Amino acid sequence: MTPDPRLGWTDRLAECWELIGHPSAHGTPGRVARIDRGWSTVLRSRDDDEGIRVRNIGAGVAVGDWVVVDAAGERIEHVLERSSAFTRRASHEGDRAVPDVLAANIDVVFLVHALTAPPNQRRLERELVLAFDSGAAPAVVLTKIDVAEEPDAVVAELSAVAPGVPVLVVSGVTGEGVDEIGRRASDGSTLALLGASGVGKSTIVNALLGDEVMATGAVRDGDQRGRHTTVATRLLPVPGDGWLIDTPGFRAVSLWLSGRGIERAFSDVFDLMDGCRFRDCKHDREPGCAVREAIDSGALDPARFASLERLVAEEAAVEAEQERRLRIADRRRHGRPAPEHDEESDAPEPDSTGSGDSD
């Protein structure tokens, strides 16, 4: 049986499936729609309302993943290579660099914020780096336009640090602007809604589905924080043949490294750097530094440049930590028979139950 293209199955996935010896030994790939501590709910078609529940211990799956279930229909045997994944560094692992995948195989990442409690520019810059790094196309969604006091100023301030990124202004309550989100959910593409608790992610989902599929919860009066109403990540079909991933609210977004997220999120600054006289310009006091000139002329906010430097340093630190762990694992393996279960890979599976309160 061929997997359902309306689940988001692509030629690229077909190749991955081919590589693992399809179809004789394995079941038809399905898509993870939800994860509950050790169990995955896997959909086999778009019309499948329930899916099957299988064990995913040790499989390292995330919602949105394409997986192959064993012949007995009991556990996940393979996770097909992801086309994209929104990954942050897990905040609960102390010093160790451990990835936490919030959603996989996504086409658009919506970074959701409420106009009533907008993020500062630095926070959005950081989220944009992660969003670009995911491999999906980022977009910013600003909710609660129906009750916002000075939306234009907020939109301008945030747009200034999101060059080339669409900024959508919506109300999940009145439905204003929600179509703009839904329009992107065509042809089996997958949209992910990410953002802090209470910003209105599930309210958007309900508006798009025209139904109260997801529970929503009031925010606290004072600081507008949500109460972590959504506790598990869900993959849901939306009209227009697309898919939507609703996630539990998160607070911490530490960098995980993968691609060129920083270059893309700060493309305006990197364009400036191309104009520096010296190729190895440190953008400090060198003559002919286009970055300094832009800062002096007011064209570039020095805080944005400082933010870029901080993120570069943070990424370098994660990279160094990853390399250190790889070296240790490598050294221990040498001269010893490879253990059946690599005892050194002490990274917990990114059992990104996406679980609960992912703060």
Ligand X SMILES: Nc1nc2c(ncn2[C@@H]2O[C@H](COP(=O)(O)OP(=O)(O)OP(=O)(O)O)[C@@H](O)[C@H]2O)c(=O)[nH]1
Q: Which of 276, 300, 308, 311 binds Zn ion (CB under 5 A)?
A: 276
Report the distance separating Cα 74 and Cα 71, nearest Å.
8
Give me the helix-helix angle, 151-159 and 121-133, nearest 10°: 50
Return the residues of window 210-269 that contact ligand X according to CB under 6 A.
Answer: 216-219, 226, 228-230, 248-249
- Interface positions, 280-339, toward Mg ion (CB under 5 A): none
Distance separating alpha carbons of residues 307 and 39, to the nearest angstrom: 39
Binders in 180-199 for ligand X, by CB under 6 A: 197-199
Stretch that binds Mg ion, among 117-125, 143-151, 196-204, 261-269 (CB under 5 A): 196-204
The contact mask relative to Mg ion for 226-255 (x = CB under 5 A, - = no) is ---xx-------------------------
The least CB distance from residue 54 to ligand X, in Å, is 26
Binds Zn ion by CB under 5 A, chosen from 31, 154, 283, 350: 283
DSSP string covering 35-87: EETTEEEEESSTT-SS-EEEE-TTT---TT-EEEE-TTSSBEEEEPPPS-EEE
* DSSP-derived secondary structure for 209-257: HTS--S---PPPTTT--------S-EEEEETTTEEEEE-------B---
Cα-based distances in Å from 280 to 272, 288, 319: 13, 12, 22
Q: Which of 257, 291, 300, 311 binds Zn ion (CB under 5 A)?
A: 291
Nearer to ligand X among residue 105 and residue 202 (C-beta): 202
Helices (H), the chain: 11-19, 121-133, 151-159, 178-182, 201-209, 261-265, 267-273, 290-297, 302-333
Whose Cβ is closer to Mg ion: residue 162's or residue 244's? 244
Q: Which is nearer to ligand X, 219 or 291 (CB)?
A: 219
Element (H, E) at 33: strand 30-36
List the Cα angle 122/230/78 in 5-degree steps.
90
User: Of 235 and 300, which CB lies nearer to Mg ion in the complex structure?
Assistant: 235
- 81 contact choice in ligand X, Mg ion, Zn ion, none (CB below 5 to 8 Å, kind-dependent): none
> From Zn ion, ligand X, Mg ion, none, which one binds at residue 281 (CB under 5 to 8 Å depending on kind)?
Zn ion
Nearer to Mg ion, 195 or 261 (CB): 195
| Residues within the interface to Mg ion (CB under 5 A) | 201-202, 229-230
| Residues within the interface to ligand X (CB under 6 A) | 143-144, 146-147, 171-173, 197-203, 216-219, 226, 228-230, 248-249
| Residues within the interface to Zn ion (CB under 5 A) | 276, 281, 283, 289, 291
